[in-house]
Amino acid sequence: MLHVSEGVASGVAAAIKDYVRNTPEFEHHLLFSERADSPAAGSDLAGFAGVHRMPHGHLKRARSIGRVASELGASIVHAHSSRAGVYVRLGLRSSAKRPIVYSPHCYAFERRDLSAVARLCIRLTEWALSRNTAVFAVCSRRELQLSRWPASRARAIYVPNVATVTPVLPRYRPGAGAARLVVAGAGRIGPQKDPHYFIAAIRALRESGVDVEARWIGGGDASVEAELTAAGVQVTGWLTRSAGLEALSKADLYLHTAAWEGFPIAVLEAEALEVATVVRRIPAFDDEGLPAMISRPEEFADRWPEFADEDARVALVGLSRHALADHTDQSQRTALLDAWNSVSRHSTSS
């Protein structure tokens, strides 16, 4: 099994590692390129039978796919994220001998920082490449619908994301009603996670007379980091996965502000850590049944009384857990085996 990813940090890296962990009977190799805005940690590269780096240049990367797959004798190539999906499906022909499985981890045409024309071009490219795809292994019910392309015979299989954390009890703080609550945001600082929405929500809350401690777990665009700091938001910068989870576990409330998503692992991690979670209302969450969604940053302040109460936050965690009940290791494993074994002549592969 050869996994191909244009980057191996944040959510995509976590998803790939979960796939590897939940299917130990496969021999997993990784082919990746490192991104300057999301450097790979040693832990991101652990657990694979082999780790291989792509060359520089788009054409060279596409050409490297077939060469590495042949050298390894990989019987399945699994592309992760939009750019790797292009590299793999341009550089390799999906066949019975070596089928291509593709996980978008959020289609690029979902981006809201691109023009309508650019998004249309990406959508048309995805449609054309869908005919060189054996299976779409998607992380949300929305992606399941988006992956049923006209004139494509590829199957679309829902593979739920999971959170690999040990649940911990929420912090107990004597006199919590009078204490400053901690509101956290998280992710790579850039357009997708939309830290400006987080700034607006925290500003609206403070202008309403509520004093909170605001933290952003992650790093990225230096100019936006400076804006967060100027708005009174503590920025942790890049942390190891374990340190990031520890920081998240110390929050009273997690506010997920992304403008577009596949299905964010951070929301699952917050639920597993028993941190009450509020999400921005975006299409990725339409069919997920999450209990606390807001449309406008100001709505966070409007609804603060229901988030500030400790008992209400505990109840919110329980409702989120019920909504996300299918995001389990066993559900992910079953779906992956369905995706991979349906296109492979063997029950295991290299």
pLDDT in tens, 136-146: 999 999 999 99
Per-residue pLDDT at 4: 96
Domains and CATH numbers, the chain: 2-162+328-341 (3.40.50.2000), 182-323 (3.40.50.2000)
Which position has the token pair 């390799």?
Answer: 92
pLDDT mean across residues, the chain:
90
pLDDT in tens, 81-127: 999 999 999 999 999 999 999 999 999 999 999 999 999 999 999 99
Per-residue pLDDT at 181: 95
CA nearest to 15, candidates 64, 84, 90: 84
Alpha-carbon span 125 to 342, nearest angstrom: 25
Alpha-carbon span 291 to 18, nearest angstrom: 26
Per-residue pLDDT at 7: 74
Q: Which residues lie closer than 8 Å to 32 by C-beta, 6 or more apart?
A: 4, 5, 6, 7, 8, 40, 51, 52, 53, 54
Instruction: Please give the distance of CA 18 from its chain centroid, rounded to a whole number.
Output: 12
Query: Do the bridges between strand 233-235 and strand 253-256 make them parallel or antiparallel, or are there none, so unpaired?
Result: unpaired
CB 264 within 8 A of CB 272: no
Alpha-carbon span 62 to 65, nearest angstrom: 6
Per-residue pLDDT at 6: 85
pLDDT of 129 higher than 80: yes
Element housing 331 (H / E): helix 329-341
Residue type, 345: R
Helices 195-207 and 222-230 meet at what angle, rounded to 10?
10
Helices 329-341 and 10-22 meet at what angle, rounded to 10?
80
Cβ neighbours around 177 below 10 Å, total? 9
pLDDT in tens, 26-82: 999 999 987 665 556 566 678 899 999 999 999 999 999 999 999 999 999 999 999
Per-residue pLDDT at 293: 97
Per-residue pLDDT at 174: 46
Residue type, 254: Y
Q: CA 155, 160, 161, 165 torsion: positive or negative?
A: negative
pLDDT of 294 higher than 90: yes
CB 98 within 8 A of CB 69: yes
Q: For the residues 221-226, what does the mean pLDDT come to? A: 94
Min mean pLDDT across 12-16, 324-328, 333-337 is at 12-16
Joined together, the tokens standing for residue 293 give 């969604």
Per-residue pLDDT at 242: 85
Alpha-carbon span 218 to 254, nearest angstrom: 14
pLDDT of 176 higher than 80: no
pLDDT of 189 higher than 50: yes
Residue type, 162: V
